[in-house]
Amino acid sequence: MKVILLAAISADGKIAQSVDQNSMDWTSKEDIQFFVKKSKEIGALIMGKTTYRTIGKPLKNRVIYVLSLCPEEETSVEGVRYVGGKLTDILARVEADGFSSVLIAGGASVYSQFLSQGLVDEIFLTVEPYLFGKGIPLVGDMDVVKMNFMDVNQIGPQTLVLHYRLK
């Protein structure tokens, strides 16, 4: 199972100015297109409940696994599965559902959990031309993670995608 972390960040490393901000409120159309292309290519996404709420709906031709402390209490809809427990067990379930890769799509707590457990193979960071100052950082309190730079692509007039490998 290949685990790919995907995030849009401001130039100062924030994924949002506040918990309820949707990234589509500040990211470029090129970032949105990159997210759609990459997520359709992979087909499966894992995200936290807050991130799912900012999206607010299932995504066509993709399955979203929403992390929950009590998945049995959640109401699933077509294309959305609530999951809980150990991250390795969740990855095994995604693989059992027929996926060879999964996209980790936020938020900061979810990114931190997957990174701190050494479960991420690759990272794609879309860097947008903003400095938020205050806001939600890409990751929370965790140990240092060494990344290997793979490449950079300019996907818009002011938008870059940085690609790193971790394993």
Q: What are phi and psi of 107, to 5 degrees?
A: -90, -155
Q: How confident is the model at residue 16 (pLDDT cuts 50, 70, 90)?
A: very high
- Strand ranges of the sheet holding 44-48, from the earlier edge strand across to the other edge: 80-83, 63-67, 44-48, 101-104, 2-10, 122-128, 159-165, 148-156
Q: Which residues pair with 8 in a beta bridge?
A: 126
Q: How far apart are CA 44 and CA 35, in angstroms?
A: 12
For residue 19, is pLDDT > 90? Answer: no
145: which strand partners?
none
Q: What is the pTM of this model?
A: 0.95
| CATH architecture under which domain 2-165 falls | 3-Layer(aba) Sandwich (3.40)
DSSP state of 17: S
Encoded tokens for 99: 């996926």
Q: What is the mean pLDDT of residues 141-164?
A: 97
Share of the chain above pLDDT 70, in %: 100
Instruction: Tell me whether strands 159-165 and 63-67 are parallel, antiparallel or unpaired.
Output: unpaired
Contact yes or no for 16/134 (Cβ under 8 A): no
The answer on pLDDT for 98 being more than 90 is yes
**Annotated domain spans of the chain:** 2-165
Category of 9 on φ-ψ map: left (φ > 0), alpha (ψ -120 to 50) or beta:
beta
What tens digit of pLDDT does each residue of 26-85 get? 999 999 999 999 999 999 999 999 999 888 899 999 999 999 999 988 887 899 999 999
C-alpha 85/C-alpha 68 separation (Å) is: 8
Give residue 114's pLDDT band: very low, low, confident or very high (50, 70, 90).
very high
Which of these, 67, 41, 35, lies nearest to 52 by C-alpha position?
A: 67
Tokens of 158: 């002011």
- Alpha-helical runs (H) found in 105-164: 108-116
